[in-house]
Amino acid sequence: MSHQLGLDSVYEKLVLLEHFAFGSQQYCSARLIGSEDDQGDGELDKYWGWLKGIVSSYLIECAVRVRMLQDTVRGEDATQLARLDKQAASNLTIGTIVEGDFRLSLRETCNKIIHAQKAVPEWRLTVNGGTQYKSWSGDYSLLGAKGARDWELRLHVAPWAHAMSQFLDAAESAELTHYVGQDWY
């Protein structure tokens, strides 16, 4: 018997990650986070803390649960899951390999999220009415090592979350998730 994975919770986190990535610029613009007007107020520090805490927690929860699903499904179904992984991310840029030699797939991005030794939200400078401020770019740099080889992945969170949702939809449509967590599976 496998664990009950609570995939509805994964969908919820994926939607929120996508919204967070798309909404950061507008949120930061309204508050001029990281601008000269923000100096001394620490809004950038607060926002950075909220963003890193929320994004890290949601990425980890989604990655662990989806990897558990992938490891639970076996045989022919596992081969089908691999095909669905490739199809779900085929028209999306889910990340950029900055360093290392690995194939970019949803499965591998989940592994990188789980095994990252360093995780850094990437910021961008933007201007609102002549005032420069900072907002999250929607990218999350993950760094680690496998053996003696360093790797770095710049995860594009919104397209990654979209691809993960498409993957789960396809796995559900193919009836690969229906019995996960049941006593007889």
Q: What is the pLDDT of residue 105?
A: 96
Which strand ranges, in their side-by-side order, compose the sheet holding 131-146? 95-99, 149-156, 131-146, 118-128
Q: What is the pLDDT of residue 177?
A: 73
In a domain, 179, yes or no: no
CA nearest neighbour of 131 among 39, 41, 47: 39
In a domain, 32, yes or no: yes
Q: What is the pLDDT of residue 101?
A: 92
In a domain, 182, yes or no: no
Collapsed DSSP state (helix, strand, coil) of residue 38: helix
Structural domain containing residue 103: 7-173
Q: What is the pLDDT of residue 31?
A: 82
pLDDT in tens, the chain (185 residues): 455 567 889 999 999 999 999 999 999 888 878 777 666 566 677 888 899 999 999 999 999 999 988 888 777 677 888 899 999 999 999 999 999 999 999 999 999 999 999 999 999 998 888 888 889 999 999 999 999 999 999 999 999 999 999 999 999 888 877 666 555 44
Q: What is the pLDDT of residue 106?
A: 97
In a domain, 183, yes or no: no
In a domain, 180, yes or no: no
pTM score:
0.90
In a domain, 184, yes or no: no
d(CA 75, CA 70): 11
Q: How far, in whole angstroms, is CA 110 from its chain's centroid?
A: 8
CA nearest neighbour of 144 among 161, 120, 123: 120
d(CA 13, CA 42): 27
In a domain, 135, yes or no: yes
Q: What is the pLDDT of residue 110?
A: 98
Domain count, the chain: 1
Angle, vertex CA 28, rays to CA 23 and CA 34, nearest 5: 145
Q: What is the pLDDT of residue 3?
A: 56
In a domain, 181, yes or no: no
Contact 181, 6 (CB under 8 A): no
Token duo for residue 80: 């089908």
Q: How far is CA 93 from CA 59, 69, 142, 154, in A?
A: 17, 23, 16, 11
Q: What is the pLDDT of residue 178?
A: 67
